[in-house]
C-alpha cells in the first residue's frame, strides 16, 4: 500500500486529498473520501459562514476519520471563516488563492495543522517559514483559480525547495497521475475534478454530465485581464466572458458583474449559463461511481504502476 509521511502526520490511510472545491465540496463528499481513507475537505465557499459551520457539524456525524476545511482567502467572509473553524474544533485546514499569514498565529495556537495551496516556489518557501505543516503545490492544469506553472515543472522545483511534505495537485485523475506525482518528488496528491463525478458529490446532475462528456480540449482559462485566471469548461458562459475580456468597450466591473454567482448557478442549478469550473483532466472522467471506488482506483492503480515500472523498460 502506498504510504508517506503525510499519512502519519494527519492520521490518514492514503496520501490523497480531495480538492476543497468551491460550492461542490460539502460534508457528503468530504465524509465519503475520509471514510475511504483519504482526506476529505469541505469548501469555505458555500451559502455563508453558518452554512459552512453546518457542513462541518454534519461531517463530524458522517465520519470518525480526519477531515479538513479549505479556506478561499479572497472571499469576503474569509476572516469570519478563519475564526469559525477554531470554534468548531477543525484540526486540518488548507488555504487557497492567497497567503494565510495573518491567521497563522491563531490557527497554530488552536493546534490546527495548516496546509496552504501554492502555485510557486517563492510562496512555498514563505509558507514553510510561517509554520505550514505541509503544502499543496497546484499546477495550472487544475480547475478553478490557477497559477502560471504546470504540475510537471512546479512539483520538482517545490519539492527541492522545501523540507515539509509536498502534495501535488493539478491534472491528477487516475493511478498514472498519482504515480507520476510521487516520481516528481511529491509526498501525496490532491484530486479535484475526478471527485466531481462521485456518487456522494452533490453537484447538479448537469454538472456531472458535462464533466463525463468532456474531452481533452474542453476547458479554457478566463479572467486573466482581471488578475484572477480561472479554468472552467468551455460553455456559452465562458466564451462570452472571454469575448468581454477582449472587448475594450467592456469595463472590468461589467465583466465581474457578469461572472458573479455563475459557479453557484452551475453547481446548484445546472444552469447552462453557469461557470463549470473543472481541470484539464475532465476528459479522463468517464463515469459516476462511489468515492471509495475512486480512492481505490487512484491508489491501487498507482501502486501497480510503480511496482511494475521497470518491466516497461525491458520490451
Ligand atoms: O483556490 C484555488 N482554486 C479555486 S478558489 C475558487 S473560488 C472562485 N470562485 C469564483 C471565481 C473565482 C474563484 C475556485 N478555484 N486553488 C488554490 C490555489 N491558490 N491555486 C493557486 C493559488 C495561489 C495563487 C496565488 C495561492 C497564493 C497566491 O499568491 C498570493 C500571494 O499573496 O502571493
State pLDDT tens for residues 38-93: 999 999 999 899 999 999 999 999 999 999 999 999 999 999 999 999 999 999 99
* % the chain with pLDDT above 90: 97
pLDDT at 310: 83
Q: What is the pTM of this model?
A: 0.97
> Rounded to the nearest 5°, which phi and psi values hold at 60?
-60, -30
**End-to-end Cα spacing for the chain:** 27
| Residue-averaged pLDDT of the chain | 97
State pLDDT tens for residues 248-264: 999 999 999 999 999 99
State pLDDT tens for residues 166-201: 999 999 999 999 999 999 999 999 999 999 999 999
Give the Cα separation of 119 and 147 in Å (integer).
Answer: 5
State if residue 184 touches ligand 1 by the CB under 6 angstroms criterion: no
**C-alpha pair distances (Å), 21 with each of 45, 186, 191, 279:** 8, 21, 10, 11
Confidence of residue 314 (pLDDT cuts 50, 70, 90): confident
Pair 42, 27: CB distance under 8 Å: yes
- Cα(56) to centroid of ligand 1, in Å? 22
Confidence of residue 315 (pLDDT cuts 50, 70, 90): low
pLDDT at 312: 80
Q: Which class for 157: exposed (0-12), middle (13-18), buried (19 or more C-beta within 10 A)?
A: middle
Strands 219-222 and 230-233: antiparallel
Residue bearing cell 484572477: 228
Residue bearing cell 454534519: 58
State if residue 229 touches ligand 1 by the CB under 6 angstroms criterion: no
Average pLDDT over residues 137-152: 97
Give the Cα separation of 26 and 185 in Å (integer).
Answer: 30
Among protein residues, the one with the nearest Cα to ligand 1's atom 14 is: 144
Residue bearing cell 488563492: 97
- Cα(72) to centroid of ligand 1, in Å? 7
Pair 276, 22: CB distance under 8 Å: no
Amino acid at each position: 500500500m502506498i504510504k508517506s509521511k503525510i499519512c502519519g502526520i494527519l492520521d490518514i490511510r492514503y496520501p490523497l486529498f480531495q480538492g476543497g472545491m468551491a460550492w461542490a465540496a460539502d460534508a457528503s463528499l468530504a465524509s465519503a473520501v475520509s471514510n475511504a481513507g483519504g482526506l476529505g475537505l469541505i469548501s469555505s465557499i458555500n451559502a455563508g459562514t453558518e452554512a459552512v459551520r453546518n457542513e462541518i457539524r454534519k461531517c463530524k456525524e458522517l465520519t470518525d476519520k480526519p477531515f479538513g476545511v479549505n479556506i478561499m482567502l479572497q472571499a469576503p467572509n474569509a476572516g469570519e471563516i478563519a475564526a469559525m473553524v477554531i470554534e468548531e474544533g477543525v484540526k486540518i485546514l488548507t488555504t487557497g488563492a492567497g497567503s494565510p499569514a495573518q491567521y497563522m498565529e491563531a490557527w497554530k495556537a488552536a493546534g490546527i495543522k495548516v496546509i496552504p495551496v501554492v502555485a510557486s516556489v517563492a510562496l512555498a518557501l514563505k509558507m514553510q517559514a510561517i509554520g505550514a505543516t505541509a503544502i499543496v503545490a497546484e499546477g495550472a492544469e487544475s480547475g478553478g483559480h490557477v497559477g502560471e506553472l504546470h504540475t510537471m515543472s512546479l512539483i520538482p522545483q517545490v519539492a527541492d525547495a522545501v523540507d515539509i511534505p509536498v502534495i501535488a495537485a493539478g491534472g491528477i485523475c487516475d493511478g498514472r497521475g498519482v504515480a507520476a506525482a510521487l516520481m516528481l518528488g511529491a509526498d501525496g496528491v490532491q484530486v479535484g475534478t475526478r471527485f466531481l463525478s462521485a456518487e456522494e458529490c452533490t453537484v447538479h446532475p448537469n454538472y456531472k454530465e458535462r464533466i463525463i462528456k468532456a474531452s481533452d480540449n474542453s476547458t479554457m482559462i478566463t479572467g486573466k485581464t482581471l488578475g484572477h485566471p480561472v479554468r472552467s469548461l468551455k460553455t456559452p458562459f465562458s466564451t462570452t466572458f472571454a469575448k468581454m475580456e477582449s472587448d475594450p468597450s467592456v469595463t472590468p466591473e461589467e465583466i465581474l458583474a457578469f461572472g458573479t454567482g455563475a459557479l453557484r448557478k452551475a453547481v446548484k442549478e445546472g444552469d447552462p449559463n453557469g461557470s463549470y469550473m473543472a481541470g484539464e483532466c475532465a476528459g479522463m472522467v468517464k463515469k459516476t461511481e462511489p468515492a471509495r471506488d475512486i480512492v481505490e482506483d487512484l491508489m491501487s492503480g498507482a501502486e501497480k504502476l510503480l511496482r511494475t515500472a521497470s518491466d516497461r523498460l525491458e520490451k
